[in-house]
Amino acid sequence: MPNTTVTLTGTGTPLPVPGRAGPGTLVRRGGWAAQVDAGRGTVLRLAELGLGCPDIDLLALTHHHSDHLVGAADLVLTRWVQGRFDPLPVLAPEGPTARFARRLLDGWAEDIDVRRRHTGRPAPQGPDVRAFAPPAAPAVIWRSADVEIAAVSVRHEPVEPAVAYRFDTPSGAVVVSGDTRVCAEVERLARGADVLVHEACRSAAVRERGKRFIADYHADTVELGAMAERAGIGTLVLTHLEPAPRTDEDTEAFAAEVRRGGYGGHLIVGEDLLTAPVGEPAAQRG
């Protein structure tokens, strides 16, 4: 197992699609694990990876759209039920996302109370919300001994704030876009990263289906290919796939559009549970 890996815990969108959990990305560095967003089914995907919720050391939230958050309470509550009692640190941009995180367990107070009295375990203290002002330019917002996390505001209007995260580790860097149009902010944050996990929208196909509003605030695949090439990305991983691929032809269409944009590096059209090394030779550009 390489030192740093990134795993897609969910490649879906708000619409339920068989085989695709809600949006989520897991970054692991040695025994340390950070979950970025926690959509529908996240804890099941973690279990399928052989992980319990107590194995998660940090949750980083990108924005307050429900598809990215509906699994967050499940993660925090199940971490407690599975026996980890220290609060889960939660990174969130100040505003609606941080407010959501602070209220995360409010609806579960009576469930927590009856479980606590029944089992004698301590009440959960979390989540430990570490809100930050959404930065206009990439800025470091969290540090440990060997992982540094930077964030930047992205372009998902009218949803504000929304952020992307970059994890710098001794073996390499991985960036997770969250939801955004293709933008200069992510391009700056991702410059030279080994792996970029980016949401992807086949705008032309979406518009043909009469869903222009979706294409308006998501990342066009052709523009994404151009941006990833300019940023010198080693491996580009597409997630939050819109429209969700149901056939091999659909999957190939995502790849073809990104290539049409000019991207020449290693390209992966994401599937749930896909794991990519960060900074290993297989993920290098070329």
Shortest reach from residue 244's CB to Zn ion, in Å = 12
Shortest reach from residue 45's CB to Zn ion, in Å = 16
Query: Among 29-37, 63-71, 188-196, 271-279, which window interacts with Zn ion (CB under 5 A)?
Result: 63-71
- CB nearer to Zn ion: pick between 45 and 65: 65
Look at strands 139-143 and 128-132 and give their pairing.
unpaired
- 37 lies in the site for Zn ion, by CB under 5 A: no
Query: Which H/E stretch holds residue 213?
Result: helix 212-216
To the query of whether residue 67 is one of the catalytic residues in this protein, the response is: yes
- CB nearer to Zn ion: pick between 169 and 239: 239
Tell me the CA distances in angstroms from 45 to 41, 86, 104, 170, one per residue in order: 6, 22, 21, 27
Gap between the terminal Cα atoms of the chain: 22
Q: Which of residues 232-261 bind Zn ion (CB under 5 A)?
A: none
Query: Among 81-89, 174-182, 188-196, 222-230, which window interacts with Zn ion (CB under 5 A)?
Result: 174-182
Q: Which of residues 116-155 bind Zn ion (CB under 5 A)?
A: none
> Which of 37, 55, 57, 179: binder of Zn ion (CB under 5 A)?
179
Positions of E strands within the chain: 4-10, 24-29, 32-36, 58-60, 89-93, 128-132, 139-143, 148-153, 163-169, 172-176, 195-201, 235-242, 266-269, 275-277
> Which of 55, 57, 67, 185: binder of Zn ion (CB under 5 A)?
67
- Six token digits for residue 144: 């440990």
Query: Among 29-37, 43-51, 172-180, 255-263, which window interacts with Zn ion (CB under 5 A)?
Result: 172-180
- CB nearer to Zn ion: pick between 199 and 280: 199
Query: Which H/E stretch holds residue 95?
Result: none
Q: What is the DSSP letter of 121?
A: P
- CB nearer to Zn ion: pick between 12 and 279: 12
Shortest reach from residue 96's CB to Zn ion, in Å = 12
- CB nearer to Zn ion: pick between 194 and 242: 242
Give the bridge partners for 235, in sequence order.
195, 266
Output the DSSP codes for 148-187. EEEEEE---TTS-S-EEEEEEETTEEEEE--S--S-HHHH
Which residue of the set 37, 55, 57, 67 is catalytic?
Answer: 67
Catalytic residues: 67
Return residues touching Zn ion (CB under 5 A): 65, 67, 179
